[in-house]
Structure 1
C-alpha cells in the first residue's frame, strides 16, 4: 500500500473496473474519483466510478455499482462496499488497512503527504510584488503569506516551483517616490526651503511623507554631498531624478527583503519592471502579437453606464483580448506613446513563458480582480505554441484590531500598520498561521489580542499545543525513534477515538493534493485544526479512562502502539506547519 491510502484505493477501483468492463477508455478511467463521503456514517470513502462508466459500458449505473461493490469487497483492505444513490459505491476499509497508515507516516517522516500530482511541472509563483514605495503593510502581509504557503504546497505536491517577486519600479508612483526621497535629501543638506515651497514645484505634489525616507535622504547626502542640489536648492530633475530613483528603489527593496525575511519569506527571483522595459521585452512581445494580427489601431466603445467626463473617442493601439475571453480589447499605448502598465505586464509574462514555465500562479489584492481577464487573455495569446496555464489567487483586505478597536496607523509609516509592527506585536508564526485561517478571498479581522490567547478558540495555540503535547509524551517515553516505532504491532489501537485520529492522519496526502489543485493553502490550516482536535479529544479521553493513556507500565505493547500513534501525529503536524512556514513548538510556556 502507498503512503496515500486514497490513491491506493482509487487504483484498486480502476483495476476492478478494467476487469469488470474490458476495453474501457482510459480517459474515462482518469476521471474516477475516490473521496471521503459527505456523511462519515456512510463509510471511509466513496467513488463515482459506476456513474462514470455506465454510459460507455451501456449498463445501468446501479448495475455497475452492484457488480463493482461485489468485486471490491473481496479485496483484503476493504471491509465493506455498498452501492449508493444513482451510481456511487461507499467503501469501508478494514481496521488493519487503516492502522497501516501509522507506520507509513513514521517511515516517510515529514515527507509524508508529498505527492506527484504536479508531475515535476515548472510553476512560477509570483507574490507580494508591492510597489517599492515604502514599508510593507498588513495588506502585503496577507499576500506574502498566502503566496509563500501556496508555493510550499505546490512543491510538496510535486511541482518544480520558483518563488518570484515582480518589482513595479517603472511607473509614476516610483517617480513620486524619487521626489519624496529628494526632499529628504534636501533636508539632510539643511535646505532653506519649506516643505510647502518644495511641494509647489512637484508634479502632483509631495505624495510620500513617511519618516522611512529620512535614512534614504541621509544616505544620498553622504554619497553625493550637495552635487545633486548645490546650495540646498533643487536642481533640474534631469540631473538627479534617475539617480535618486534607482538609489531609493534599491533602498526600499533592501527594506522589503528584510521585512519579508522577518516573515520567513524568501524569493528565488526578483524581476524588475524597469529592467524589462529597458531590455525591450514588452516591445518584443507586442511585435510578436502584432505579427499574428492580434494588435491593431482602433477606437474603443465608451464605457458602459455613466460616461466619464474625461472620456474621449481616440485611436489607440489595442490588443485583441476579446479573442481570448476578455470583454473588451485593451490599450497598449498611452496618449504620449509610452507603454501602458498592461503592455509592460505583457513583457513580464512573455519573459516568464520564455523561461520555460508550464504554469503561472499569481497572488493579487482583491482590488485587482478586474485585471484578471485581460492578463489571462495575454498569457493565452503568448503561449499558443505550448499552452501555459495562468491562475490568480485574490486576497481580501485585513483589518487589525486590538482591544476591540481598529489599529489604524504606524508611527513610522504614518498612515498604515506595517508588517514589522505586526510581527513585533505577536510574532512571525502567529502572523503566518492566522493569515491562513480564512480563505484568501474572504475579508478577515486580525485580532492582536486573540492570536496570543492560550485557548482552544485560538487556532495557532490549539495546533501548537497538540504538537507540544505529542512531544511531551515522547520525551517522557525516552524519545523513541519513529523508524523503530514503525515496526511495532498496532492491534491495541482499537478505540473509536484512536481509529478516528488515524483516519485523519491518512487524509493528509489527499488534503495536500486537493489544496494544491485548488490553489487554497488555507485548507492546510483547517486540516491541522481538525487533526489537533482529534488528538486533544484522545488526550482528554485518556484522562478519564486510564486504559487509553499513552504510557502504561503494565501494558508495554499498548504503550508502544500508542507512542507510534503519537509520533505519527506529531510528524503530520510538523509536515503541515512546514507548508505554512510555521515553526512547531516543543513545549508551551
Structure 2
C-alpha cells in the first residue's frame, strides 16, 4: 500500500502545486522521521519559498490547504509541521496492507516483461573459491533476487575464463606433473585436488632452470594459440581441467547458496567467430592504434589504452568480454555485472568501447564492490595460502552450532528438539550470518568480517532478524495448539489494531514492496537488509507491548493476523537477501 499511497500523494501534490501556479518538477516526497505519525511527507516548501517570497512554513500551509483528504483513499489527513507537509495514513491504508501481507508472496511486484542477465562471481577456475572473493556471489545473488522480486525475468550467469594464460598454465601442469609430485589435497573435493597441479606449475615456472621454463612456455603458448585457432583437441584438453574445477566450485557456491542458470565460457565467442568479427570492427575505429607490438584502443577520457590483440594474433580477456557483452545486448533487455574494485578500469574501458561500437551502454549496469577482509590478512589462490570460502562456512556453522546448543539446551534435554534440528538451525544461522553481514554493507565500502558481530543474536545481525521469523512462527504454532483459529488477514478488522506499536508494525510492513522496488532500481540489496533491522525493531516493540494469545476476541484475531503478515514479510525480505528464515531457533 505504500507504493499506492505514494502515487496518490504524488498526484495530490502535483495538482495542488498546479492550482497554486507553481512548478511541479520536484515534489520533495520523502519518508518522515520515525517520530512523525505520517506515511509520507513533502519538503517542497523549501524549494518554493524563494520563488513565492514567503517563509517555508507559510508555503507548506498553502500547499496543504489545496489538498482535500476526502478525495484520497490512503490518506486520512494532511497536516503541516513547520516547512513539511505530512500525509497521515487512513484506515484503508492499514486494512489493505494487512490484506496484502496475508499472502505468502507479499513483496513480489507484478511482472515487468523485461529480461535481465546478472553476471556475478566469475572467478577464474584455478582452484577453490577463496574468502577474499566471497562478496561477489553474495552480492550478485542478492541483486538477482531483488530483481526477481521486483518482477524482472532474471538469468544468473557465471562467465568462465577458460581461454587465458592461467588456464593454459593449468592445462600444461595437469598434463605434466604426477600425483606423487604433489602434496596431499586440503579437502576431499575435485578443485582441491586439481589446484595442486596449478600451484606446482607456477612454482616450476618461477624456479626451474631457464631451458626447462622456455620449453614449458612454448607448450603454454601452443595451448593459447590452439584455442585462438579453434582447435577442437586443444579445447577438449583445457575443458577437461576447467569443467572439473568448476564442478567443485559449484558445490562450494551452492552452500551459500548461489546457483546459476548458465556457465558461459569465453571460448564460446572465439569458436563461433564473434571475437574475429569484433576485432575486424575494432580495427576500423578511429581510436584503434598499433603500439608496443599490439593493437589497442586510445579511449577518450581514459588514461590507459585497451589492448585487444597481441602481436602473435591472440586476443585478450577484454576482447572476448566485449563479444560476450554484445551477445548479452542481443539476448536481454538489461545486463548487470558485479565486479570487484580492481576491475574499475576495465569496467570503464568496456563501457566506452561498447559506446564506440554503437551500443547503448546505458543498458549495462556495473555493481562495483570492495573486498572482504579477515583479521588473518590477504589471501592468494596461486600460492596456496589464506582461507577458502569452504573454511569460512564450516567455521560459521560450527560457531552457530555452539550458540544454538547453548540457547536450546533445555529443549534438547526435554526432547523437544533433536540433533537434526540443531544441525539444520546451525546451517541456517551460520551461513545466514555470513551472507547477511556481507550483503548488509554498501558494496563500495571495504569491510572486515567479525564473528562476534555476525553471530550476535542481540545485535542487528542475521540471527537477530531470523529470530523474529522464528518468534512469529512460534506464536502461530502456540495459537493452534491452544485451539485458536488463525484467521486470514484479509478477514480481520484492522481497526482492532488500536495500539501505536501494532500500527507502527503495520506501517513498516506496508513499506516492504517499495523497499524491494528501490533495491532493484539501484541494485542495492543492502537497502533490504537495513529494512529488516527496522522491521525487527518494530516487531519486537509490538511483541513486548501487545500480548497476542492472552488477548481476546477481535483483538486477538487482529494481532494473530498481524503476526502472520509479519511472518510473510520478514521471510520474503530474508529470502531476497538469500538468507534462510528458520521456523525455530
Q: TM-score, normalised by structure 2?
A: 0.77
Equivalent residue, structure 1, for 2:69: 73
1:531 is aligned to 2:535: yes
Q: Give the root-mean-square deviation of aligned CA atoms.
A: 3.8
SS in structure 2 at match of 1:124 = strand
Q: Indicate which of 368, 372, 393 corresponds to 1:398.
A: 372
SS in structure 2 at match of 1:477 = helix
Equivalent residue, structure 1, for 2:275: 282
Relative distance call for 1:134 and 1:214 in structure 2 (3 A) is closer
Equivalent residue, structure 2, for 1:439: 442
Equivalent residue, structure 2, for 1:358: 333
Q: How far does the alpha carbon of each residue in 1:558-583 deviate from its partner, in whole angstroms, 9 at most, with x for none?
A: 10010011111111011111111222
**Aligned pairs (5 A) from 1:571-586:** 571-586=568-583
Note the C-alpha offset of 1:382: 4.0
**Partners of 1:493 and 1:438 in 2: how far apart?**
34
1:349 is aligned to 2:325: yes
Mean Cα displacement is larger for which, 253-262 or 242-251?
242-251
Note the C-alpha offset of 1:36: 0.6
**Partners of 1:275 and 1:76 in 2: how far apart?**
55
Equivalent residue, structure 2, for 1:257: 250
**Partners of 1:481 and 1:411 in 2: how far apart?**
57
SS in structure 1 at match of 2:295 = strand
Mean Cα displacement is larger for which, 119-128 or 163-172?
119-128
Equivalent residue, structure 2, for 1:161: 154
Q: How far does the alpha carbon of each residue in 1:216-250 deviate from its partner, in whole angstroms, 9 at most, with x for none?
A: 89xxxxxxxxxxxxxxx999946997654321111
Q: How far does the alpha carbon of each residue in 1:9-43 deviate from its partner, in whole angstroms, 9 at most, with x for none?
A: 42353156348738999xx9786564312564273
Q: Indicate which of 403, 407, 415 corresponds to 2:385.
A: 415
Q: Indicate which of 166, 179, 187 corresponds to 2:178.
A: 187
Relative distance call for 1:518 and 1:16 in structure 2 (3 A) is closer
**Partners of 2:448 and 2:361 in 1: how far apart?**
39
Equivalent residue, structure 1, for 2:193: 212
**Aligned pairs (5 A) from 1:266-345:** 266-291=259-284, 293-297=285-289, 314=292, 316-319=294-297, 321-322=299-300, 326-327=302-303, 329-345=305-321
**Aligned pairs (5 A) from 1:43-54:** 43-47=38-42
Note the C-alpha offset of 1:278: 2.5
Equivalent residue, structure 1, for 2:470: 468
Equivalent residue, structure 2, for 1:100: 96
Q: How far does the alpha carbon of each residue in 1:297-332 deviate from its partner, in whole angstroms, 9 at most, with x for none?
A: 255xxxxxxxxxxxxxx475333532xx64555332
Note the C-alpha offset of 1:171: 0.9
**Partners of 1:338 and 1:236 in 2: how far apart?**
15
- Checking the alignment, whether the CA contact within 8 Å between 2:519 and 2:525 is kept in structure 1 is yes
In the alignment of these two chains, the number of paired residues is 515
Equivalent residue, structure 2, for 1:374: 349
- Checking the alignment, whether the CA contact within 8 Å between 1:410 and 1:418 is kept in structure 2 is no
SS in structure 2 at match of 1:254 = helix
Relative distance call for 1:490 and 1:254 in structure 2 (3 A) is same
SS in structure 1 at match of 2:67 = helix
SS in structure 1 at match of 2:87 = strand
SS in structure 2 at match of 1:423 = helix
1:113 is aligned to 2:107: yes
**Partners of 1:481 and 1:370 in 2: how far apart?**
60
Q: Indicate which of 13, 35, 38 corresponds to 2:10.
A: 13
Q: Indicate which of 13, 35, 41 corresponds to 2:36.
A: 41
Mean Cα displacement is larger for which, 564-573 or 339-348?
339-348
Note the C-alpha offset of 1:434: 2.3
5+ residue gaps in structure 2?
183-190, 199-214, 224-232, 397-426
- Checking the alignment, whether the CA contact within 8 Å between 1:43 and 1:92 is kept in structure 2 is yes
**Partners of 2:541 and 2:172 in 1: how far apart?**
60
Relative distance call for 1:574 and 1:69 in structure 2 (3 A) is farther
- Checking the alignment, whether the CA contact within 8 Å between 2:48 and 2:59 is kept in structure 1 is no
- Checking the alignment, whether the CA contact within 8 Å between 1:283 and 1:347 is kept in structure 2 is no
Relative distance call for 1:30 and 1:487 in structure 2 (3 A) is farther
Q: How far does the alpha carbon of each residue in 1:346-367 deviate from its partner, in whole angstroms, 9 at most, with x for none?
A: 1111111122x22211111122
Relative distance call for 1:539 and 1:59 in structure 2 (3 A) is closer
**Partners of 2:73 and 2:574 in 1: how far apart?**
34
**Partners of 2:116 and 2:485 in 1: how far apart?**
36
SS in structure 2 at match of 1:174 = helix
Equivalent residue, structure 1, for 2:461: 459
Note the C-alpha offset of 1:471: 0.7
Relative distance call for 1:242 and 1:10 in structure 2 (3 A) is closer
Equivalent residue, structure 2, for 1:143: 136
**Aligned pairs (5 A) from 1:123-142:** 123-142=116-135
SS in structure 1 at match of 2:542 = helix
5+ residue gaps in structure 1?
196-209, 218-232, 300-313, 542-547
Relative distance call for 1:411 and 1:272 in structure 2 (3 A) is closer
